[in-house]
Structure 1
Amino acid sequence: MKMFKKVTAAVLLGASALAVGGCATTLPTKVTRYQAMPVPAGQTFAVVPGMGAAARGGLEFQTFAQLAAQQLNARGYRQVASPAQAQLIVQLGYGVDRGRQVVQEEPFVGRGYGFGGYDPFWGVYTGRPYYSRFGYGFGYGRFGSPFYYGWDDPFWNGGLRVYTEYRSQLEMDIRDRATNQALFDGRAQARSTTDELGTLVPNLIEAMFTGFPGRSGETVKISVPTRRAR
């Protein structure tokens, strides 16, 4: 039974862990939240740019900020136009790295039912991964760290699956404007075969608000149906 569970987990990982790409319909995401949010009672809020690609502002940020605002409005908070008028300041940051090439040895090819390795990100057994040379991430604040360069499209070759894996992240911090007290710190992380922010960020926001505000200090795995920014 244990082996069956590991086999199933490996298959599911290959099918969905890098889901937003091709015809995939979900984005598996890890969400960590710390919160001391007040009970919703019409408190006003404004969304402002955070780290990463959000720091550029512009129409892209406004699109994603409005998605976050819709989520907060639906939960009993009230958006206002200016941070100076808001009781709560919502800082939204996001980005995606440049990708890394992964050559993954499939567990059922050439090894019987053996497994190549253990994936600590998702907690399942997979084929053994190999990585290419180092590149650099997008380099803003906590988002900045080295990543790998890779190729564009996954393909199969003699039991090896070669693809480019991208890691994306969204951070949302909420504080009381008058006292500067931190009320919410959240981080959503995902891996995918696309680096399109228009696909990734709406799904990361959806995951962030699933079960919002959540249990403080808890990390949960959430898969949401993929959507694009409109």
Structure 2
Amino acid sequence: MIKSRLLMLAAALVATSGLTACADSFRANVTRFHNAVPPPEQGASFAILADDPKNNGSLEFAHYADVVAGRLTALGYSRASDPASARLVVRLGYDVDKGHERVVTSYSRRAMFGPDIYPVVVPGRYGPRVRYVVGYRDPFLWGSGWGWGWDDPFGRDVDSYTVYQSQLSLKIDKAGGEGGRVFEGTARAQSLSNKLTYLVPNLVDALFQDFPGKNGEEVKVTIAPEPRAKN
């Protein structure tokens, strides 16, 4: 019994440390398809339009379009001053759902055990004796009265939280008479946040990692957090 509790405690500590290490990272599933994307050295200029017409004229969309434009210009493409003169038309779409609840059972400190002083029966040289310990009483070991047991700092916790599914899509077409789609990409992520101001830039970063990527392949991308400023 005690051995299994110790193993459970060790597993909980490992899981907690793992979550702490990656809590700030952003993970996304990215799928890309492309066909003869014009290289930037050919002077390919671009214009960014909203994939959803209701976003046309939106200041929020303009902000996210600037984020995408920054990634494209970093690759060597140029943003057309007049969208009508652009050789490439980039259509940007993004969304986050209303979320769904998840219930998780974990082992963590619980206030119900209450930090207090409890008697523990321990073996002694001249027979069993009572010692008092400060900690968290485990009712599963103690039961309703005194008995053999140990001070267990961990117990079962049931938590619920909301998970949101976000998605960003990017389509690139040749403009005018050239016609034809040259790129389609989608980045999806699950997170505890539904804030587009946080989600969209991270999804853009994921989509543009190793752009244009391998055709028809879905990859998992992890975006490392920005370095913290030194005090």
- Place the TM-score, normalised by the shorter chain, in its bin: 0.5 to 0.7
More divergent stretch after superposition (160-169 vs 184-193)? 160-169
Q: Which amino acid aligns with 1:50?
A: D
Partner of 1:74: 74
Matches of 1:222 and 1:57 in 2, distance apart? 31
Shift of residue 38 of structure 1?
1.8
Identity across matched positions, percent:
36
Partner of 2:45: 44
Matches of 1:62 and 1:223 in 2, distance apart? 26
Partner of 2:195: 196
Give the alignment of 1:36-185 within 5 angstroms.
36=35, 37-41=37-41, 42-51=43-52, 55=55, 57-106=57-106, 158-178=156-176, 179-185=178-184
Matches of 2:168 and 2:57 in 1, distance apart? 15
Q: Return closer, same or farther for 1:94/1:226 CA change in 2, 3 Å cut-off.
A: farther
Shift of residue 43 of structure 1?
0.6
Shift of residue 59 of structure 1?
1.2
Q: Which amino acid aligns with 1:219?
A: E
RMSD across aligned positions (CA): 2.7
Runs of at least 4 residues off by over 3 Å: none
Give the alignment of 1:17-36 within 5 angstroms.
24-36=23-35
Matches of 1:81 and 1:97 in 2, distance apart? 34
Residue by residue over 1:121-150, the C-alpha shift from the partner in whole angstroms, topping out at 9 and shown as x without a partner, is xxxxxxxxxxxxxxxxxxxxxxxxxxxxxx
- The answer (yes or no) to whether the contact 1:199–1:226 under 8 Å persists in 2 is no
Shift of residue 226 of structure 1?
4.7
Matches of 1:167 and 1:176 in 2, distance apart? 31
Matches of 1:58 and 1:209 in 2, distance apart? 23
Larger proportion of helix: 2
Matches of 2:202 and 2:161 in 1, distance apart? 21
1:221 pairs with 2:220:
yes
Shift of residue 213 of structure 1?
0.4
Residue by residue over 1:27-82, the C-alpha shift from the partner in whole angstroms, topping out at 9 and shown as x without a partner, is 11000000121222221100111139x73541111111011001111111110133
Q: Return closer, same or farther for 1:57/1:93 CA change in 2, 3 Å cut-off.
A: farther
Q: How many residues align?
A: 164
Matches of 2:215 and 2:40 in 1, distance apart? 17
Q: Return closer, same or farther for 1:50/1:205 CA change in 2, 3 Å cut-off.
A: same
Q: Return closer, same or farther for 1:56/1:86 CA change in 2, 3 Å cut-off.
A: closer
Query: Which of the two has higher C-alpha Rg?
Result: 2
- The answer (yes or no) to whether the contact 1:34–1:216 under 8 Å persists in 2 is yes
Residue by residue over 1:165-221, the C-alpha shift from the partner in whole angstroms, topping out at 9 and shown as x without a partner, is 000000000000123301000000000001000000000000010010001001110
1:15 pairs with 2:19:
yes
Q: Which runs of 5+ in 2 are unaligned?
A: 1-10, 109-154, 227-231
Matches of 1:57 and 1:30 in 2, distance apart? 29
Q: Which runs of 5+ in 1 are unaligned?
A: 1-6, 110-156
- The answer (yes or no) to whether the contact 2:186–2:207 under 8 Å persists in 1 is yes
